[in-house]
Amino acid sequence: MQNNEQTQNRMSLQTMIMPIAIIIAGALIAGGIYMTGTSQKGAIPGVGIQKATAVVEPVTSADHVLGDPKTAKVTIIEYSDLECPFCKTYHETLSKIYEENKAGGKVAWVFRHAPIVELHSKAPKEAEATECAAELGGNVVFWKYLTEIFANTPTNNGLNAEKLYEFADTVGLNAKAFKTCLDSGKYATKINEQILAAKKAGVAGTPYAVLVMDGKNVPLVDKDGNGIGAVPYAQMKQIIDQLIK
């Protein structure tokens, strides 16, 4: 997986993403895309090519969501690792994309946990901490806490675990209740289940994104079906702008 992240970092995203932004809208109109979980022919070159066994679970009330996936023109499902340096950057990118398009409900953003345990042993516990934040403070506090981790972690297992308790105070949670929740490990099973679900969705490296439009899942992958990782803001903006027109 480490090699996969390094490969993503070396990719020439300028040459790979620009054609996608130009052709994706027209291709969707023509109906020639791969839908995740199918073997449909006529895929958009460079987008949506994925193994037929990959299954992206539909968005439900159990997900952490900004916006309304039922009415949004584009829903971005992000699979992420809280100690992944590329995920830290991509969180900033998607935050900007969402803020620019939340008016009118054009874009919805779904966050799913996919910690790469082999590389980032601290990431699962950090994911549990976000679930405790959600339990105690609701969806708004979940996103605040998530952003607090990304803003402060040096990544690659660099975050001091004690900071997780400090962040709870920062976002306004009851410190004692948060500590009880996190120390209990009550969300460890949920995080493990999300890791398995991410693998079923085709996630082999993070970040990994799937765009949902008109009920169709379009994973952002290269021609070989590998996730293209942290797409830079400028290119991600072009892709989203094309799709919401």
Indicate the average pLDDT of the chain: 83
Q: Of 6-15, 121-130, 155-164, which gets the smallest average pLDDT?
A: 6-15
Query: Following DSSP, what letter does each residue of 111-160 receive, concatenated?
Result: EEE---TTT-TTHHHHHHHHHHHHHHHHHHHHHHHHHHHHHH--STT-S-
* pLDDT tens per residue across span 188-217: 999 999 999 999 999 999 999 999 998 889
Instruction: With a cut of 50, say whether residue 168 has pLDDT above it.
Output: yes
Contact (Cβ atoms closer than 8 angstroms) between residue 220 and residue 227: yes
Instruction: With a cut of 80, say whether residue 31 has pLDDT above it.
Output: no
Distance CA 2, CA 97 (A): 27
- Flag whether 57 is in a domain: no
Q: How many CA atoms lie within 13 A of 211 on its CB side?
A: 26
Instruction: With a cut of 60, say whether residue 170 has pLDDT above it.
Output: yes
Specify the pLDDT at position 53. Answer: 57
Instruction: With a cut of 70, say whether residue 12 has pLDDT above it.
Output: no
Instruction: With a cut of 60, say whether residue 33 has pLDDT above it.
Output: no
Q: Of 10-19, 100-109, 191-200, which gets the smallest average pLDDT?
A: 10-19
Kind of pairing between the strands at 74-80 and 107-113 = parallel
CATH value at residue 99:
3.40.30.10
Q: How many CB atoms lie within 10 A of CB 96?
A: 13
- H-run or E-run covering 210: strand 208-213
- H-run or E-run covering 10: helix 2-10
Residue span of the structural domain in which 191 resides: 2-52+63-244
Q: Give the chain's domain count.
A: 1
- Flag whether 141 is in a domain: yes
Distance CA 121, CA 43 (A): 37
- CB contact burial 167-194 (16+ within 10 A = b; e otherwise): bbeebebeeeebeebbeeeebeeebeeb
Share of the chain above pLDDT 90, in %: 70
Q: Please, which residues bridge with residue 212 across strands?
A: 75, 217
DSSP-derived letter for residue 178 is: H
Give the mean model confidence (pLDDT) for residues 60-75.
Answer: 96
- Flag whether 58 is in a domain: no
- Flag whether 144 is in a domain: yes
- Flag whether 105 is in a domain: yes
Residue with structure tokens 């959600």?
Answer: 134
Share of the chain above pLDDT 70, in %: 78
Query: Following DSSP, what letter does each residue of 144-155 receive, concatenated?
Result: HHHHHHHHH--S
